[in-house]
Amino acid sequence: QVHLVESGGGSVQSGGSLKLSCVYSEYTSSTVLAWFRQAPGKEREGVAAIESDGEMHFADSVKGRFSISKDSDKNTLYLQMNSLKPEDTAMYYCAADYGGWPTLRGPLQSSAYSYWGQGTQVTVSS
């Protein structure tokens, strides 16, 4: 059973930074890890993804502000969020896929991921 556990959310003022972490239980040569977010009343959207070869993908709305990385020794995925805006307020989820679906459906498509964490709340005040 795959487990994903996020942490690091919180409240911050506009312009501030937060770093989210996601501990994952499994990793293979075909794993793609990603961060998604969902604000109240809105659809879940892909924020960033990192493939097993290190290729990264970002939503246009976060390019230049967010970075994604992973520490294989710690089985941990990170999302560094800088220059936060009130519109970044959402529940942030970690996701993983091991079967190649992100390549077929797009690395920032939620339908490409089979495993999800429980989420961590990020609130940015103006």
Please say if the pLDDT value at position 104 is more than 90: no
The burial class, CB within 10 Å (0-12 / 13-18 / 19+), for 110 is: middle
- How far, in Å, CA of 5 to CA of 119, rounded? 8
Q: CB–CB of 75/25 below 8 Å? A: yes
Q: What percent of the chain has pLDDT over 70?
A: 100
What per-residue confidence (pLDDT) applies to 103?
A: 86
What per-residue confidence (pLDDT) applies to 1?
A: 87
pLDDT digits (tens, 9 = 90+) for 83-102: 999 999 999 999 999 988 88
Q: What average pLDDT score do residues 97-121 get?
A: 94
pLDDT digits (tens, 9 = 90+) for 49-77: 999 999 999 999 999 999 999 999 999 99
